[in-house]
């Protein structure tokens, strides 16, 4: 005889996980604040509890299980730094459903030189087997500009990647505009590697990331794979 009084916690974990997935659904985007916020007590759980129905938060065990399931439902992650993601996702956690990954703080490298978990964007991207879009930010004086062949080559490890957005802050100017010529070798190298690997990855190099036109003599333009704020003299 079936016991109709069996509790939810007595159900098999696999069945509970299926129920969590049905109730929570997909999480379109998870914005992860800087470590100064996430590092507080229960920071990761507080960040995710907002996405979980109150009915699943009444019991600590159920809440923790629901959090783990919700982590696997994330489609897009937007974070300041790789280490901020490590505060929410343990270093050995696979992110199977993440399609878009974005870092909003300029990174010194893509691959990194430290041998520790989540020390570089690549450490996170390598855990996203379905990653389709990657958005990175670098300072214009970044070593990547001189060593992009050794640093950015790891981007091709993500076999499903179709969009790459590279932002370079404080790009050197030339007259009214940024000096696009300085970034041509990077563009040529990447397109050549795409051809060699028969990959179709849409490249965008933003030389004015985060900026909007500040007056009527500025506008954002797209020139090939480059986008930047173009300045002009209306009376010149």
CA dist 156 and 83 (Å) reads 22
60, 175: one domain: no
29, 117: one domain: no
Please give the pLDDT value at position 38: 46
Helix (H, G, I), strand (E, B) or coil at 30: strand
> Given 75, 107, 131, which residue is the final one in a domain?
75
41, 107: one domain: no
Please give the pLDDT value at position 63: 80
- Look up residue 161 and give its DSSP letter: -
User: Does residue 83 form part of some domain?
Assistant: no
Instruction: Please provide residue 165's backbone torsions phi and psi, each rounded to the nearest 5 degrees.
Output: -115, 115
Residue 142 has pLDDT above 60, yes or no: no
229, 118: one domain: yes
**213 — pLDDT class (breaks 50, 70, 90):** confident
**232 — pLDDT class (breaks 50, 70, 90):** low
Q: Is 67 exposed, middle or buried (0-12, 13-18, 19+ CB in 10 A)?
A: buried
CA dist 192 and 183 (Å) reads 15
Q: Name the more confident of 236 and 151.
A: 151
Half-sphere exposure of 42 (CA within 13 A, CB side): 8
Q: Give, to the nearest 10 degrees, the angle between helix 13-24 and helix 60-71.
A: 70
User: Does residue 182 form part of some domain?
Assistant: yes
**1 — pLDDT class (breaks 50, 70, 90):** very low
Please give the pLDDT value at position 3: 56
108, 219: one domain: yes
Cα 212–215–216 angle (5° rounding)?
Answer: 115
CB 178 within 8 A of CB 170: no
The total number of structural domains that make up the chain: 2
112, 33: one domain: no
Number of helices (H) and strands (E) in the chain: give both, helices first: 8, 10
User: Does residue 213 form part of some domain?
Assistant: yes
Residue 143 has pLDDT above 50, yes or no: no
Please give the pLDDT value at position 192: 96
Contact partners, residue 30, CB within 8 Å, separation at least 6: 47, 48, 51, 74, 76, 77, 78, 88
pTM for this predicted structure: 0.82
Q: DSSP H helical segments within the chain, as ranges?
A: 13-24, 35-38, 43-49, 60-71, 82-86, 121-125, 144-151, 184-197
CA dist 126 and 9 (Å) reads 34
Domain encompassing residue 181: 99-236
User: Does residue 52 form part of some domain?
Assistant: yes
User: Does residue 88 form part of some domain?
Assistant: no
Which residues does residue 79 pair with via DSSP β-bridges, in sequence order? Answer: 32, 103
């Amino acid at each position: 005889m079936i016991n109709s009084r069996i509790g939810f916690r007595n159900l098999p974990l696999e069945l509970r996980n299926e129920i969590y997935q049905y109730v929570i659904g997909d999480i379109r985007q998870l914005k992860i604040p800087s470590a100064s916020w996430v590092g507080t007590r229960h920071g990761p759980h507080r960040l995710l509890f907002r996405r979980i129905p109150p009915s699943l938060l009444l019991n600590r065990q159920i809440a923790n299980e629901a959090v783990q399931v919700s982590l696997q439902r994330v489609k897009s992650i937007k974070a300041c730094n790789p280490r901020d993601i490590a505060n929410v996702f343990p270093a050995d956690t696979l992110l199977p459903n993440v399609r878009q990954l974005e870092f909003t703080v300029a990174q010194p490298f893509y691959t990194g030189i430290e041998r520790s978990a989540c020390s570089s964007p690549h450490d996170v991207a390598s855990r996203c087997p379905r990653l389709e879009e990657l958005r990175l930010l670098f300072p214009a004086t970044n070593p990547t500009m001189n060593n992009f062949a050794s640093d950015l080559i790891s981007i091709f490890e993500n076999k499903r990647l179709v969009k790459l957005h590279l932002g370079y802050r404080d790009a050197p100017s030339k007259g009214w505009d940024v000096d696009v010529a300085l970034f041509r070798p990077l563009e040529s190298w990447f397109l050549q590697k795409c051809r060699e690997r028969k990959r179709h990855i849409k490249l965008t190099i933003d030389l004015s990331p985060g900026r909007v036109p500040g007056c009527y003599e500025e506008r954002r333009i797209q020139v090939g794979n480059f986008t930047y704020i173009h300045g002009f003299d209306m009376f010149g």
